[in-house]
Amino acid sequence: MMRRVLPLALLVMGANAYMLVAVAVNRSSDASRVVMTERELPLQARSERDSAVKLVLRYEEPVDWWKGRDGEVMRALGFSCATPLLSDLNIAPCGLGRRVFAAFEYDGPAWQAIAAKRLRDRDELLQKSGDRNVQSQADYLEQLAKHGTHLVLVDASLDPEALRRAHPDPRVIILPADVRAWLYREPPTPSGSWVLRGRIAIVTTELIAPVAQRWVPPPGKLEYRAITPPRYAVVLKVGRRHEPWVEAVTPIDSPETPR
């Protein structure tokens, strides 16, 4: 019996040791640091079986992402797909997904462009009609322009060092991401031309708040609806392996809140 269990136990111990070493290497030195808020890292719903306080990293895509720039990024990431000769569909897959590195800018020009567009869309809605539903949509756009996540996807690359050189601003963090690409017929008609599209998603979106340095809203008021001011600040760090972690969570109006 012992002979059967020992190899499995050694395997588990080895895997745990590797994970601990990887975490230590990631957090050893030269970690980038950004102070975000509940807008970017709202609380995840908790269950009675899980007492950990988890935050979910949220981000936006740039306003020009679906106007062709994503195709440029996909080609730079190595996606090259032949145009389908015969297809009744408007979407065709473009190879397998792959692991890349993505750059996310916090509270910078990319977010300002998104907020400005939402306010322009609000104004256009208000000019069309005084209908109550239109007013509700306009109000929602205005709230999103004020309180939506300020973290925006701005670029991606296979080389994280090249990505950092291209985006030296400390407000830009570089995180591991998964990417998938496809061909899309635009406009979606048989005579339309095929264009390259893609989607980039952060690998690690759930982050655990440290027990010793965390503040959370009182029970019953955990949900953040992105239409109200944030209630707490989050110190987010990204290490040498580009893996993020939460260092502290504090009330946003506290004198101890880092800046």
pLDDT band at 170 (very low <50, low <70, confident <90, very high): very high
The CA distance from 32 to 35, in Å, is 10
State phi, psi for 220 to the nearest 5 degrees.
Answer: 90, -10
How many structural domains comprise the chain?
Answer: 1
Closest C-alpha to 202, from 180, 177, 181: 177
Residue 41 maps to a domain: yes
Q: Is residue 38 a contact partner of residue 252, using CB atoms and an 8 Å limit?
A: yes
Q: Confirm whether 221 is domain-assigned.
A: yes
Domain contains 44: yes
Instruction: Look at residue 214 and tell me if it is in a domain.
Output: yes
- My answer on whether omega of the bond before 187 falls inside 30° of 0, hence cis, is yes
Phi and psi angles of residue 72, each rounded to the nearest 5 degrees, phi first: -60, -45
pTM of the model: 0.80
pLDDT at 130 over 80: no
- Domain residues for 33? 27-58+205-259
Look at residue 13 in the predicted model and tell me its pLDDT.
45
**Residue 6 lies inside a defined structural domain of this protein:** no
Let me know if residue 241 belongs to a domain: yes
Query: Is 31 within a domain?
Result: yes
Three-state DSSP state, 108: coil
Confidence of residue 40 (pLDDT cuts 50, 70, 90): very high
Percent of the chain having pLDDT more than 90?
A: 41
* Pairing verdict, β 54-56 and 206-208: antiparallel
Name the band, by pLDDT with cuts 50, 70 and 90, for residue 202.
Answer: very high
Q: What is the pLDDT of residue 219?
A: 61
Residues 90 and 84: their CA atoms lie apart, in Å, by: 10
In a domain, 170, yes or no: no
